[in-house]
Structure 1
Amino acid sequence: MKSQISHYYLIVDLEATCCNSKTIPRHEMEIIEIGAVMLNRTTWVIDSEFQQFIQPVRHPQLTSFCTELTSIRQQDVDEAPKFLEVISRFKEWIDLFPNYIFCSWGSYDKKQFIQDCAFHNFPYPFTSEHINIKEEFSEYLGVSKKFGMAEALNKLGIELKGKHHRGIDDAHNIASIYRQIKTKKLS
């Protein structure tokens, strides 16, 4: 039986509730933004994007640390739908691209999806493998050091576009990194 060829890299970046102390334990952090792009593996162009804020329920008040880090305002999440509505919309969008591979910078995004889906009793939305682009970037350079996304952009001479720690902007920036390392490997 032939294996199905993936036509897209689904590149996802999440932002979640956070603080610079222990007032929000790691296991209680919640997704407050999903930013995602579908990077076409043939053209290396982004064919579609998804962005949505999410209203947190465990710790509905964003910390000043979170707001300063992400630039996501309290009003953004107060006016946003809750997780179940957003994850359902996100799943519908993903399903428009049945041949994809789920990718993110590191394993954090995958773990946060697993955690939030379990908390809200929603099935994990991804049917594909997961690619950790942070690890692939280190392999591409032939080093063991793990780079932050902004540091990787700098190393490749790519300008950071948008606001760092905003899901949709970081998804676009990660796509730029991945496009460069994948197309350089092919040439």
Structure 2
Amino acid sequence: MAKRKLDQVLIVDIEATCWQTSIPPGQESEIIEIGLCLLDVASWKPQDKTSILVRPERSTVSPFCTQLTGLTQEQVEQGVSFAEACKLLQTAYASHERIWASYGEADRLRFERQCHSRQVAYPFAPRHINIKALFALWYGLPHEVGMSTALEIAGLPLEGTHHRGDDDAWNIAALFAGMMKHGRSSN
């Protein structure tokens, strides 16, 4: 077993093909963008953000999906395959050795399902932090809230474009960093 790296947390946010109504026959929702932000544990400062575009294999980008994410079919066709994206996560970001986090469980579950259906090795370490649940607990909320609402509660600006993977990963990192900085300073 690889030794776990604890110098950074890998913050992940994905975007997937979506439709305003039901999924068209013969298509399925699949990952088209993996947004990443490395969060330095020593300083709790986001270090880097990037976007990996993933070429869909079993769907096309709908006009609704373009309106929501800003991503077009032409853009994602220039992306890498899902298998290549998973390999890149491991080689460039040591995703299989780092604790990783996302805003909720949906991104983790989608990765698990898509890896299983494509017979691609799961690229992440088993340790996952659900920042959505952690945020609700931290702030004593009666239920979990969306990321943009969480930013408002925390008094943080929404930077970049909502529903773009790299920008959302950056904003999620800011939420998590705020909680961790406060926790560290109160000890």
Same fold (TM over 0.5): yes
Code of the aligned partner of 1:33: E
- Listed as ranges, the gaps of 5+ residues in structure 2 are none
Code of the aligned partner of 2:140: G
Aligned-pair identity (%): 35
What is the match of residue 90 of structure 2? Answer: 91
Distance 2:4 2:77 in 1: 41
Q: Which runs of 4+ in 1 moved over 4 A?
A: none
- Which of 148, 151, 172 is matched with 2:149 structurally? 151
The more displaced of 33-42 and 87-96 is 87-96
What is the match of residue 72 of structure 1? Answer: 71
- The TM-score normalised by the length of structure 2 is 0.90
Tell me the matched-pair count.
182
- Listed as ranges, the gaps of 5+ residues in structure 1 are none
* Paired residues for 1:5-154 under 5 Å: 6-24=6-24, 28-59=28-59, 61-95=60-94, 98=97, 100-154=98-152
State the secondary structure of the residue aligned to 1:14.
Answer: strand
Whether the aligned pair in 2 keeps the contact of 1:106 and 1:132 (CA below 8 Å) is: yes
The more displaced of 112-121 and 40-49 is 40-49
State the secondary structure of the residue aligned to 2:160.
Answer: coil
Whether the aligned pair in 2 keeps the contact of 1:102 and 1:129 (CA below 8 Å) is: yes
Whether the aligned pair in 2 keeps the contact of 1:18 and 1:24 (CA below 8 Å) is: no
CA RMSD of aligned residues (A): 2.0
Code of the aligned partner of 2:42: T
Whether the aligned pair in 2 keeps the contact of 1:11 and 1:104 (CA below 8 Å) is: yes
The more displaced of 42-51 and 173-182 is 42-51
- The TM-score normalised by the length of structure 1 is 0.90
Q: Please list the CA deviations of residues 68-102 of structure 1 after superposition, one character each: whole Å capped at 9, or x if unmatched.
A: 0111112111221221122211221222894x211
What is the match of residue 161 of structure 2? Answer: 163
